[in-house]
Amino acid sequence: MARYVFSLTTAAIGAVPLASAKRTANAHGATVLRALAGSMLVEAPPATAAAVAKALPGWRYSPERKTTRVPERTPLQRARQLTKAP
């Protein structure tokens, strides 16, 4: 199972509202984890996500990207080296 972010496009005329989109996703076997105005986080296999996207005109989807920024250690190490210099 993967997570996908479904977003309502701004230029979508006749797009499916959020409540209907959630029902459609559930009917296709996907799990809606969170839903906010114009977007929802869905957990489903890739084939199911594609089927949900096909059933929702005006909605686009992409895989969820989890990125974590890890601080760089080199500036601290450089500062320590400068303080140890004779």
In the block, tokens 């906010």 appear at 36
Cβ atoms < 10 Å from Cβ of 4: 21
Q: Is the pTM of this model over 0.75?
A: no
CA distances from 85 to 77, 78, 82 (A): 13, 11, 5
Contacts of 72 (CB under 8 A, 6+ apart): none
Question: pLDDT tens digit string along 24-78?
Answer: 999 999 999 999 888 899 999 999 999 999 999 889 999 998 765 656 656 666 6
- Domain borders along the chain are 2-63
